[in-house]
A and B are shown apart, each in its own frame.
Chain A
Amino acid sequence: MSAKEQILARIRRALPEPRPDADIPRDYLQAHGARTPAETVDLLAANLAEYRAKVHRVDEDGIAVLLARLLAERGASSVLVPPGLPPHWLAAADPTRIHDREASTPYELDAVDSVVTGCALAIAETGTIVLDGGPEQGRRRITLVPDHHICVVRVPAQVVDSVPQALPLLDPTRPLTWISGPSATSDIELDRVEGVHGPRTLEVILLGAQ
């Protein structure tokens, strides 16, 4: 008997028939509190900041200047660019563009200073941005290996209140990365230290009418 048959047989022996389907009580809240779209964006900004992400607000006209400034302040000489990132976002930036290519090695990614991406959506209550590998976000590894990640969130369109509101908007067949603040560890005496293996600096740009 194969291990599969063996395990399935043991399960069936362990459970008495009949086994009716249970109703899962889903009376938990779909969102915690009622907010206007603007308040939801404010909550996202507050929770991101509490998790040590740096939050900026800008409108379409100002994003190129803001990105150029953030990259310059960082001293970045190279920036990773996903294939679908709107070109005008980086129109004013100096660093060399490195394109997201399947063939690039982890060592090449490690030599890049910064990465700029969009996102699939952001969750206000938990201060989370979710990436799904779409054209504005690129492969999972480009937001992981460089030490500086700038993520642009379109507000209020890409912002939801809660986790239950986020899941129906996501496609599970795509690789999903949920990011809440920069990489952190609490493994040494439970003191929180930002930046272990993922980017030590996460900047989030809330892009929309000011």
Chain B
Amino acid sequence: MTGTYLGMPAFPDAAREAVRDEVLRANLRHATHTIRDKRARAVAELEDWDRLRAAGKAVKDHTLAHLDRYLLQLEAAVTAAGGTVHWAADADEANRIVTELVRATGEREVVKVKSMATQEIGLNEALEAAGIAAYETDLAELIVQLGHDRPSHILVPAIHRNRGEIRDIFAAEMGDWGRPAPEGLGDDPRELAEAARLHLREKFLRAKVAVSGANFMVAETGTLVVFESEGNGRMCLTLPETLISVVGIEKVIPTFRDLEIFLQTLPRSSTAERMNPYTTMWTGTADGDGPSVFHLVLLDNGRTDTLADEVGRQALRCIRCSACLNVCPVYERAGGHAYGSVYPGPIGAILSPQLRGTGSEIDATLPYASTLCGACYEVCPVAIDIPEVLVHLRERVVQGGPVTREGIRVRIRPADGHTAERAAMRAARLLLDRPDALRAGERLLARARRLRPRRLPGPGRAWTDSRELPELPERSFRDWWAAREKAAREKGARP
């Protein structure tokens, strides 16, 4: 994945910083609560929600199980419809392909539709290094780009900014990128949206090359689909002469009919609407309507490695609705930046360490960025069991084990800094594997309850700094259960 986030502090440090920021927390609380309440109402409208969710999960699982077949079918269909398909094994390769395609047009600027895949590979930075300006055209992405900032939410990348901050960014920065903000710009959302409209319209009208992602790719027909609200997507997808779409290989679905599921579940899960204002579907190129040149770049970048993990592969079902972010108590307090990844929140906590590996400190801490409360699983429209994958990844961080990196099966070592935890896990396994030792230990503990210290020694000290050590029970659960069973038997024996 991108180097943009290199050097980010690990999640606990970043989160500690973030929860101290009261403006950030207030912005996040307002936004996540608003959208989660709306989403619940939108979902409740559909009495068959659970069946749609099961169907969406089944379509995605089936596609992943035959990903090779569907990618080849997609390639054939896109090619037959007048498009050109490129394959990119990693971020560098994808960036190189896109840069060369833009260069070949002779243009020095591109307009962009908000896309997680191009964020992930750091395409804007790669284009900039090649002397090509990439303009984000989604309002929130524009706020992020002008603010020299990073996105903090999948759907609403500038969720961490309030209207006053946005006004200041527009007033200070728009002039450096094109049309300046109007004199005396206020902080009313309507006024801010109008400033963005004027600023971006001049870019849309002159743009010759656009870069997008896609929400879905239909193998059967070669159709690509983009869901959006503002019309910036439509502008980029229809006005320029050349369109380059960079799409993760997991975005393919088998048939056009399968869209009937996701057209119902994605808008309600993400923006809490019955339908988003605009959905664009295109199949290759169309005579005289829209771009005359279409390139599709199929991106792996860690996805096949994720596919190789039987538990973790379900993360590839994700349709990027961001419902899991909005219900997550950890995200609500820490914000998206703390995750140090373009994919924040619960889905980011399982996707990033799989796409990038758990080698770095931030990736090793991400599986812990959760309370395992399960709310993310409940709202997921494709039923990704995020808590299950989190626990699976924690085990990998602590114990190491076999993983696939860049297509090669390797055994990774346990991450640094988890020595105490590993020792505890080992001790626990030792005891749990030997019931007699466990029973003896529990009895011993019960007898020794008067000797209980107020503070734990060693690595446990930090825990008891802020908590009372619980009282030890008079007897262990096993003893209590055995006694209860015995009493019941005796009682039952007597008529």
Task: State whether A2 and B87 are in contact (beta carbons under 8 Å apart), knowing that A15-B65, A141-B239, A185-B230 are contacts in the complex.
Answer: yes
What separation, in Å, do the CA atoms of A38 and B264 have in the docked complex? 23
Minimum CB–CB distance from A1 to chain B (whole Å) comes to 9
B215, CB-defined interface residue at 8 Å: no
Minimum CB–CB distance from A120 to chain B (whole Å) comes to 12
What separation, in Å, do the CA atoms of A72 and B58 have in the docked complex? 52
B281–A175 touching, CB < 8 Å:
yes
A196–B48 touching, CB < 8 Å:
no
B166–A28 touching, CB < 8 Å:
no
A29, CB-defined interface residue at 8 Å: yes
Selected contact of B71 from candidates A8, A19, A47, CB within 8 Å: A8
B230–A183 touching, CB < 8 Å:
yes
- Interface residue stretch chosen among B10-18, B193-201, B478-486: B193-201
In the complex, how many residues of chain B place their beta carbon closer than 8 angstroms to a beta carbon of chain A? Answer: 96
A13–B308 touching, CB < 8 Å:
yes
Task: State whether A11 and B307 are in contact (beta carbons under 8 Å apart), knowing that A182-B277, A186-B229, A198-B231 are contacts in the complex.
Answer: yes
Task: State whether A173 and B234 are in contact (beta carbons under 8 Å apart), knowing that A7-B298, A8-B68, A186-B271 are contacts in the complex.
Answer: no
Interface of B is mostly: helix
Provide the residues of chain B in CB contact with A102, threshold 8 Å.
288
Task: State whether A175 and B282 are in contact (beta carbons under 8 Å apart), knowing that A7-B89, A13-B308 are contacts in the complex.
Answer: yes
Provide the residues of chain B in CB contact with A127, threshold 8 Å.
274-275
Selected contact of B235 from candidates A9, A24, A197, CB within 8 Å: A197
A185–B193 touching, CB < 8 Å:
yes
A197–B51 touching, CB < 8 Å:
no
Provide the residues of chain B in CB contact with A110, threshold 8 Å.
201, 205
B163–A196 touching, CB < 8 Å:
no
Q: Which B residues, 261 to 302, have Cβ-Cβ distances below 8 Å to chain A?
A: 261, 263-264, 271, 273-283, 286, 288-290, 298, 300
Task: State whether A133 and B68 are in contact (beta carbons under 8 Å apart), knowing that A32-B47, A47-B274, A144-B235 are contacts in the complex.
Answer: no
What separation, in Å, do the CA atoms of A175 and B286 have in the docked complex? 7
Digitize B205-241: 1 where CB-to-A-CB distance is under 8 Å, 0 elsewhere: 1100000000000100101000001111011001100
A25–B249 touching, CB < 8 Å:
no
What separation, in Å, do the CA atoms of A27 and B47 have in the docked complex? 12
Task: State whether A139 and B276 are in contact (beta carbons under 8 Å apart), knowing that A185-B139, A187-B138 are contacts in the complex.
Answer: no
What separation, in Å, do the CA atoms of A106 and B201 have in the docked complex? 10
- Interface residue stretch chosen among A58-66, A73-81, A86-94, A160-168: A160-168
- Identify the closest chain A residue to B38 (Cβ): A190
Task: State whether A172 and B256 are in contact (beta carbons under 8 Å apart), knowing that A8-B71, A22-B61, A178-B279 are contacts in the complex.
Answer: yes
Provide the residues of chain B in CB contact with A14, threshold 8 Å.
304-305, 307-308, 313, 404
A26–B55 touching, CB < 8 Å:
yes
Task: State whether A190 and B93 are in contact (beta carbons under 8 Å apart), knowing that A47-B274, A197-B231 are contacts in the complex.
Answer: no
B278–A177 touching, CB < 8 Å:
yes
Task: State whether A139 and B288 are in contact (beta carbons under 8 Å apart), knowing that A182-B277, A186-B229 are contacts in the complex.
Answer: yes
A188, CB-defined interface residue at 8 Å: yes
A19–B275 touching, CB < 8 Å:
no
Task: State whether A177 and B279 are in contact (beta carbons under 8 Å apart), knowing that A19-B66, A110-B201 are contacts in the complex.
Answer: yes
Minimum CB–CB distance from A123 to chain B (whole Å) comes to 8
Digitize B64-103: 1 where CB-to-A-CB distance is under 8 Å, 0 elsewhere: 0111100110000000010000111100010000000000
B158, CB-defined interface residue at 8 Å: yes
What separation, in Å, do the CA atoms of A163 and B326 have in the docked complex? 26
B62, CB-defined interface residue at 8 Å: yes
Q: Which A residues, 149 to 206, have Cβ-Cβ distances below 8 Å to chain B?
A: 163-164, 167-168, 172-191, 193, 195-199
B8, CB-defined interface residue at 8 Å: no
B275–A126 touching, CB < 8 Å:
yes
Minimum CB–CB distance from A177 to chain B (whole Å) comes to 6
Provide the residues of chain A in CB contact with B407, threshold 8 Å.
6, 9-10, 13
B162, CB-defined interface residue at 8 Å: yes
What separation, in Å, do the CA atoms of A14 and B193 have in the docked complex? 46
Task: State whether A189 and B257 are in contact (beta carbons under 8 Å apart), knowing that A29-B47, A197-B232 are contacts in the complex.
Answer: no
B158–A187 touching, CB < 8 Å:
yes
A125, CB-defined interface residue at 8 Å: yes
Task: State whether A177 and B68 are in contact (beta carbons under 8 Å apart), knowing that A106-B205, A163-B260, A188-B193 are contacts in the complex.
Answer: no
What separation, in Å, do the CA atoms of A196 and B230 have in the docked complex? 5
A193–B190 touching, CB < 8 Å:
yes
Provide the residues of chain A in CB contact with B67, threshold 8 Å.
11, 15
Task: State whether A22 and B277 are in contact (beta carbons under 8 Å apart), knowing that A110-B201, A167-B257, A196-B197 are contacts in the complex.
Answer: no
A195–B156 touching, CB < 8 Å:
no
B55–A178 touching, CB < 8 Å:
no
B256–A167 touching, CB < 8 Å:
yes
Provide the residues of chain A in CB contact with B139, threshold 8 Å.
185, 187-188, 196
A198–B221 touching, CB < 8 Å:
no
B315, CB-defined interface residue at 8 Å: no
What separation, in Å, do the CA atoms of A205 and B365 have in the docked complex? 56
A197–B62 touching, CB < 8 Å:
no
What separation, in Å, do the CA atoms of A127 and B267 have in the docked complex? 13
Task: State whether A172 and B205 are in contact (beta carbons under 8 Å apart), knowing that A28-B51, A163-B260, A188-B166 are contacts in the complex.
Answer: no
B62–A140 touching, CB < 8 Å:
no
Residue among A28, A128, A176, A181 with most chain B CB within 10 A: A28
Task: State whether A25 and B58 are in contact (beta carbons under 8 Å apart), knowing that A172-B221, A176-B281 are contacts in the complex.
Answer: yes
What separation, in Å, do the CA atoms of A175 and B204 have in the docked complex? 20
Provide the residues of chain B in CB contact with A123, threshold 8 Å.
275
What separation, in Å, do the CA atoms of A144 and B230 have in the docked complex? 11
Selected contact of B239 from candidates A6, A106, A126, CB within 8 Å: A106
A197–B200 touching, CB < 8 Å:
yes
Digitize B244-265: 1 where CB-to-A-CB distance is under 8 Å, 0 elsewhere: 0000010000001111110110
B277–A3 touching, CB < 8 Å:
no
Task: State whether A175 and B289 are in contact (beta carbons under 8 Å apart), knowing that A3-B93, A11-B67, A193-B189 are contacts in the complex.
Answer: yes
Q: List 21 A-B contacts (CB under 8 A).
A: A7-B249, A11-B68, A21-B62, A28-B52, A51-B277, A106-B206, A127-B275, A139-B289, A141-B289, A144-B231, A173-B81, A174-B286, A183-B231, A187-B143, A189-B163, A190-B31, A190-B159, A196-B193, A196-B196, A197-B230, A198-B231
Instruction: Taking A25-B54, A125-B274 as given, write out 5 further A-B residue pairs in contact, using a Cβ cutoff of 8 Å, ordered by the A residue number.
Output: A28-B48, A32-B48, A139-B290, A187-B156, A197-B235
